[in-house]
Amino acid sequence: MRTLRAAERRAVPWKNGGGVTRSVAAHPEGSGTAEFEWRVSLADVGADGPFSGFPGVDRILTVVEGAGMDLTVNGQRRLVDERFVPQHFPGDAPTDCRLLAGPVVNFNVMFRRGRPAPAVAVVRGGLTITGPALVVALDAPARVDGVRLGPYDAVLTEEGGAVVRAEGHAAVVTLPARQSGQEMSGI
């Protein structure tokens, strides 16, 4: 189990320059935005505009701060106005964002289409996880096997299990099993 503290992340401009993102973890280790199999990040969205396109990638987006967004994904309107509800859409579809009432923070999970996909759940209270997972405290502290997490801190678990206790909301990203001995990494 590896602890990934929010304070150790640096803000990086979006691929299209329209905002900033803070990478939480990615697979394989050292992969950038062009090579990842899966990637988890937190994005600050401060203004209306287009999302970066990621060919061959699907995305699960969860609003964790703010009132939400009115998205247009591949020409279809999608109102994302409820916090802590994961929304799945193609990362390569043209996506435009209009903020509903000021800035938001999004929890993003992106993964290559056609490969084993992560699953995202937002939980409160207790949960036992049985395989590799990334747990991120969202709006209040959480504990994973006794490790205390402040908001946006994370724990990357490997094979085996862990017990999650969330005082508020925590994102649990169930990860595909490692392949060919490749390591998962916090970035």
Q: For the whole model, what pTM was predicted?
A: 0.90
Residue with tokens 């006794």: 146
83 contacts 68 by C-beta, under 8 angstroms: yes
Residue type, 99: L
- CATH numbers and ranges of domains, the chain: 8-112 (2.60.120.10), 119-186 (2.60.120)
Longest dimension (CA), the chain: 46
d(CA 138, CA 169): 6
pLDDT tens column, 25-80: 999 876 877 789 999 999 999 999 999 889 999 999 999 999 999 999 999 999 99
Looking at the chain, list the stretches that DSSP marks H as alpha helix, in order from N- to C-terminal side.
none
Any idea which residue has 């990637």 for tokens? 39
